[in-house]
Amino acid sequence: MIAFNKYYNQFNILSISLVVISLFLLTFKGLNFGIDFKGGTLIELRSTDSKINVSSLRDNLNSMNLGDVSVKNFGNETDFLIKFEINNNKNIIEEIKSNLDKSFGNTFDFRRVENVGPKVSAELLKSGVIAIAVALTLMLIYIWIRFEWQFSLGAILALFHDVLVTLGLFSLLGLEINLSIIAAVLTIVGYSMNDTVVIFDRVRENLRKYSDIKIYDLTNISINETLSRTLITSITTLLALLSIFFFGGEILKGFSLAMIFGVIFGTYSSIYIANTVLVRLRVSQKTVLREDESN
Partner 1 sequence: MLYFSKFRIISVILISLFFILIASSNLFKFENNLLNKKINLGLDLQGGSYLLLEIDNNPVIEQKIQNLSITIRNYFKDKNIRIKNLKILGKKLSFSVDENFKQTILDTFNDEESELNPYYPRFKSHQLDISEENNIFFVNYSTQGIVKLKTSSQDQALEIVRRRIDEIGTNEPNILKRGNDRILVELPGLDDPMRIKSLLGKTANLTFRFVTNNDQDSFGAEKLSYEDESEEDALVSKRIILSGDNLLDAQPRMDSETNETVVTFTLDRVGAKRFGKATSTGIGKQLAIVLDGKIISAPVIRDTIASGSGQISGGFTFQSATDLALLLRSGALPAPLNIIEERTVGPDLGQDSINAGMIALAIGFVLVIVFIFVKYKVFGLITNITLILNLFLLIGILTIFEATLTLPGIAGIILTVGMAVDANVLIFERIKEELKNEKNNLIAFDSGYTKSRTAILDANITTLLAAIILFFMGSGPIKGFSLTLGIGIFTTLFSVYFIARLLTVLYVYRNKEKEGLI
Interaction site with partner 1 (CB under 8 A): 44, 90, 93-94, 109-117, 119-120, 124, 127-128, 130-131, 134-135, 138-139, 142, 146, 179-180, 182-183, 186-187, 189-191, 193-195, 197-198, 201-202, 205, 225-226, 228-229, 232-233, 235-244, 246-249, 251-252, 255-256, 259
CB closer to partner 1, 114 vs 217? 114
- For residue 112, the minimal CB distance to partner 1 (Å) is 5
CB closer to partner 1, 8 vs 191? 191
CB closer to partner 1, 23 vs 244? 244
Contacts of 165 (CB under 8 A, 6+ apart): 18, 19, 22, 261, 265
CB closer to partner 1, 180 vs 220? 180
Strand, helix or coil at 181? helix
| Contact (Cβ atoms closer than 8 angstroms) between residue 116 and residue 43 | no
Give the number of other CB atoms < 10 A from CB of residue 58. 16
- For residue 12, the minimal CB distance to partner 1 (Å) is 24
Instruction: Report, in angstroms and rounded to the nearest whole number, the Rg of the chain calculated over CA atoms.
Output: 24
- For residue 89, the minimal CB distance to partner 1 (Å) is 12
| Contact (Cβ atoms closer than 8 angstroms) between residue 178 and residue 40 | no
| Contact (Cβ atoms closer than 8 angstroms) between residue 194 and residue 139 | no
Q: E strand or H helix at 186, and its extent?
A: helix 179-209
| Contact (Cβ atoms closer than 8 angstroms) between residue 73 and residue 67 | no
- For residue 195, the minimal CB distance to partner 1 (Å) is 8
| CA distances (Å), origin 141, targets 14, 184, 227, 288 | 28, 21, 26, 18
- For residue 13, the minimal CB distance to partner 1 (Å) is 28
CB closer to partner 1, 169 vs 221? 221
Task: Output the DSSP codes for 16-54.
Answer: HHHHHHHHHHHHHT--EE-HHHH-EEEEEEEES-TT--H
Q: Within a 13 Å sphere around the CA of 254, how many CA atoms are in the beta-carbon half?
A: 21
CB closer to partner 1, 182 vs 215? 182
- For residue 124, the minimal CB distance to partner 1 (Å) is 8
Strand, helix or coil at 82? strand
- For residue 279, the minimal CB distance to partner 1 (Å) is 21
Strand, helix or coil at 64? coil
- For residue 276, the minimal CB distance to partner 1 (Å) is 21
CB closer to partner 1, 23 vs 198? 198
CB closer to partner 1, 25 vs 116? 116
* Alpha-carbon gap, residue 49 to 204, rounded angstroms: 64
